[in-house]
Amino acid sequence: MELSWQVILGIFFPFLMTSLGASAVFLFKNKISQSVQSIFLGFAAGVMIAASIFSLLLPAMEEADALGKSGITIASIGFLAGALFLTVLDLFMPHLHLNTDEPEGVKTSWDKTILLMLAVTLHNVPEGMAVGLTFALAMQHGDPLSLAAAFALALGMGIQNFPEGAAISLPLKSQGMSNQKSFLWGSLSGAVEPIFAFLALFIANVLSNWMPFLLSFSAGAMMFVTVEELIPEAQTQSHSHYATYGILIGFVLMMVFDVVLG
């Protein structure tokens, strides 16, 4: 496999969009309203659900069938294994979710800012894995269609990362942190994505025959984050349709990206 500049650009695109979103601290004074935050979180959830299905699970089953293996069996096992992996991370990694004051994971005396960053890092891990694996699949196939599908996923991840960067940096600013530091922390919250993308790329290169399992593993990890964190955090306003329509719009947009571009 050859690592081209297109692949490198696609891998870094979601991180760049996170940084762009974090730059909102230089334009706005206040943190995002609860209604807007619900829309953004719902949108991210919708994108991740669609990406899990169209960009990961379906290609995983197609790859397995092409290798003469049971696609549905491998996809099911990989999906559950990915969810279990994120469950372990969620139980042991110290982190603090938005709009809560009770940290989760192993007890620690770390600062609230760090714990909030770790929460974002937790759900950025499967996003980075997904982007890396789809580009690895495109490099293995060597055809423009697979590369377009990988870029479609990177585009979807990047779009939903934009408000995520702002959702981290603006609350930090409202707590008294300087614009520069708030931007830096907000930007760094997405740094784990290219790291895990390149790690997934390397693993897929070494274990190319495991690609169906790896793709479904990434899908399970993303779905766990979506159901465990994003949707509950988006639905903080009772009897509100903000998060619901955010999910629907995000799902449709990612589906269109994957079908049209891929």
The pair of structure tokens assigned to 240 is: 């509100």
Please name every residue paired with 95 in a beta bridge, in sequence order, or none if there are none. Answer: 104
The pair of structure tokens assigned to 156 is: 């979807």
Work out the mean pLDDT of the chain and round it to a whole number. Answer: 86
pTM of the predicted model, to two decimals?
0.86
Tens digit of each residue's pLDDT (9 = 90 or more) over 82-131: 999 999 988 888 777 666 667 777 787 777 767 777 777 787 889 999 99
pLDDT-derived band at 166 (thresholds 50, 70, 90) equals confident
Rounded to 10 degrees, the C-alpha dihedral 146/150/156/162 comes to -160
Res 250: pLDDT: 92
Res 128: pLDDT: 92
Is 157 within 8 Å of 133 (Cβ atoms)?
no
For 238, the 3-state DSSP assignment is: coil
By C-alpha distance, which of 168, 104, 130 is closest to 10? 130
